Each structure stands twice: as structure tokens, then as C-alpha cells.
Structure 1
Amino acid sequence: MSHALLPFALFAFAASISPGPTNLLILAHAARRGWRASLAPVLAACAAAAGIVLVVGLGLSDWLLGQPQVQRWLGWLGVAWLSWLAVQMLRSASAPLRQAHAPTFGPGAAAGLQLLNPKVWWMAVAVIGVFASPTLPVWLLAMVFLLVALPCMAAWAWLGASSARWLQTPGALRWFNRSLAGLLLASAWFSLW
């Protein structure tokens, strides 16, 4: 195996555990729906991110880097969707956690978010540019990324589910949702710079 596998695994860990739009939404979803209900979105988001690494490594990065308009369009589309999600969080800031009609963050939305998340695309381009080599092929990078990302994102879900105990009061829940919405907006808009 390549000597670059450990540095890549550390990079994948840092990219996966750091706060970002998907991690924040998984956290909020787990606080509302529980850890088990968040496992399918976690798996879908991680698989989609690993798929993006694979697709970028198979040649999309060359095309994408040559298309600044497409990059800009994807960035703005992602920011618009994340901003809409943040507004939804603000609107439900003090709604009870276990509300029957509360919005869910299902596997399709989690995977779709990865397609629009600028952080994921830039991470994938960096992965391929820095770590891809004949001894560390693209398929292996995608697989290792998936294996590293799963426990990282599951930790965010566990943190959200664990926080549900202290979110039973309307004031704490309002503070939590407003904070997450603000962080989501910040992570979305800062990703454009």
C-alpha cells in the first residue's frame, strides 16, 4: 500500500469531522428524530461524497476546473438551497422536537446536498490533485473516504441525538435551532470565497 494512505486518511478525517452543512443538518435531524433515524441519511451522504471523489477522480475534475461558469452556478445553487434550509430551521426554531409534521432530512436530501455542497466538490478536487497516484488509485481513495466519513458523520448524529435531552425546553430548543441555522448560513456563504 502507498505511504500516502495515512496522510490521506487524516485528510479525510479532517474533512469529514469538521463542521459543514451536511454535518449540521445531520445534527439537527438526529436531535429531532434520533440516532437510528439518522443512520440512513448518514450513509447516503457519505456514499454520495465518496461517489463524488470517484467521479472527480475519473476525469470530471479536469472538465470542472475548465468550466468556471459551471463552478459558479453549482456554488450559487448550493448556497441558495442551504440558505433555504437555514430559513426552515429558523421558522421551526421553537417547534417541539418530536413534532409529527416536522421536516425530515432523509437519505435523498442528504445525498442531494452533497451534489450541491461546494465543500464536497473542492474537497474531492483536492483529494484527486494531492493524493491520487498509481499506488493510490481513485477507487481506493473513494473507498477509504467512505470508511473514514461514516463514523465521523455518525458522531455528529450521536451528538444531535444526545443533545435532545437538554432541548426539551422551548428556550433551549430555540437557541439550538437559531445557532444551527446561523452556522449553516455561515458555512454556506463562506464556501463561495
Structure 2
Amino acid sequence: MPDTLLPFALFALAASISPGPTNLLILAHAAQRGWRASLLPVLAACSAAAGIVLVVGLGLGDWLLGQPQVQRALGWLGVAWLSWLALQMLRSADTPVQQAQARRFGPGAAAALQVLNPKVWWMAVAVIGVFASPTRPIWLLALVFLLVALPCMATWAWLGARSARWLQAPGTVRALHRALAGLLLVSAWLSLL
């Protein structure tokens, strides 16, 4: 990796590994369905985020910066959907693990979550504003972001799958769902600030 990409790779690492709505949902999904079942949602979410970096860099970012109403609408739509997902997580807190496994956070939902997540859009605008240059084309930034994000989100899935052992007791499942729902709400609403 060229030296000029190191600062961007570190930024992508920080953005991808930090707890956010998608990482929390991947963690919960993997805790219920396992690591392998979470790989397609991980791939879809990371690809969607890299795609957002690409389209923002190709001009959508400039347009978005000039459209405060669209920015607000996107932000509120994303927060509303994330809040709904948090409420669903709270409702399933008392659901036995076997029944909860019937619900699936699939690749389509993972990709859609990235599209509706205000954090991803602001991250993409920051990427383009700070890191894009003639020596670092947008497609390269999107590719590096994808390559950094994949192992980061896969780590969240691995952590979720590893936690499944101690989630056999209903009290721990309830506590995990409540904690993750609370973190999801906080991360969603903080994205509007």
C-alpha cells in the first residue's frame, strides 16, 4: 500500500471498527445465527458503504452539500429507521433464541441500512473532502475502504458468534438486546448532532 494511503487506511479503520448501528446489528445477528450466516450481510454492508464513498466522490457529495433539506431528510429517515430497528430489538429481548433465529438481518437489509445511515454519508463526505486527490482517485479510496471495512465488520460478527455460548440463559439474551438497542438508539440520534 502506498504511503499516501496510510492516513486514509487508518481513518477507514477507525470508521469501520467503531461501534455504530450496522456493527451492532451484525453483532446481534451473529449472536443469533452464527458467524457464517453473517458473512453475506457483512459483505453487503461493506460494499454499500464503499459504494457510497464512490458515488459521493463522483459528485453526489457536492450536490448533497448544496441541499440542506435533502441532508435533513436523509438524517431523519435514517434515524427513524434505526429507531424502529432498536424497538424491534427491544421487543425481541424476551424472545427465545430459537424463535429469534427465524428473523434474519439479510444482505439487502444490511446494504439498505448503510444507505439510510447518516454516519456513512458524513463519513463519505469527509473521505472525499480530506483524502481525495489526483494521486488518490476516488475508486481507489472506495476499494481501500472496502478492504479495511470487511475485516472490521467481520470482527463484530465473530464477537457476536463467540458470545452465543453465554447467551443461552434468557436473562443474558434480554440484557444483550436491551444494551444493543440502547446503543443503537444513542448512535442513531447522535448522528444528527
TM-score between the two structures when normalised by the length of structure 2: 0.97
CA distance in 2 between partners of 1:33 and 1:152 (Å): 19
Counterparts of residues 95-134 of structure 1 (less than 5 Å): 95-99=95-99, 102-134=102-134
Q: Is the 8 A contact 2:33 2:101 kept in 1?
A: no
Q: Is the 8 A contact 2:92 2:100 kept in 1?
A: no
Whichever residue aligns with residue 99 of structure 2, its letter is Q
Counterparts of residues 34-113 of structure 1 (less than 5 Å): 34-99=34-99, 102-113=102-113
Whichever residue aligns with residue 122 of structure 1, its letter is W
Distance 1:29 1:101, change over 3 A: closer
Partner of 2:18: 18
Provide, for residues 86-117 of structure 1, a one-character-per-residue CA deviation record: whole Å limited to 9, x for no partner.
Answer: 00000010212232663211000000001100
Distance 1:66 1:23, change over 3 A: same
Determine what percentage of the aligned residue pairs are the same residue: 82
CA distance in 1 between partners of 2:180 and 2:100 (Å): 21
Whichever residue aligns with residue 34 of structure 1, its letter is G
Q: Is the 8 A contact 2:47 2:146 kept in 1?
A: yes
CA distance in 2 between partners of 1:135 and 1:24 (Å): 35
Unaligned runs of 5+ in 2: none
CA distance in 1 between partners of 2:122 and 2:179 (Å): 25
Q: Quick check: 1:138 aligned with 2:175?
A: no
Provide, for residues 42-90 of structure 1, a one-character-per-residue CA deviation record: whole Å limited to 9, x for no partner.
Answer: 0000000000000000011110000000000000000000000000000
SS class of match (1:172): helix
CA distance in 1 between partners of 2:33 and 2:163 (Å): 12
CA distance in 2 between partners of 1:166 and 1:101 (Å): 16
Whichever residue aligns with residue 134 of structure 1, its letter is P
Distance 1:100 1:174, change over 3 A: closer
Whichever residue aligns with residue 105 of structure 2, its letter is F
Partner of 2:189: 189
Counterparts of residues 160-171 of structure 1 (less than 5 Å): 160-171=160-171
Whichever residue aligns with residue 138 of structure 2, its letter is V
CA distance in 2 between partners of 1:2 and 1:53 (Å): 20
Partner of 1:158: 158
Q: Is the 8 A contact 2:35 2:157 kept in 1?
A: yes
SS class of match (1:93): helix
TM-score between the two structures when normalised by the length of structure 1: 0.97
Provide, for residues 164-186 of structure 1, a one-character-per-residue CA deviation record: whole Å limited to 9, x for no partner.
Answer: 10010011110000000000000
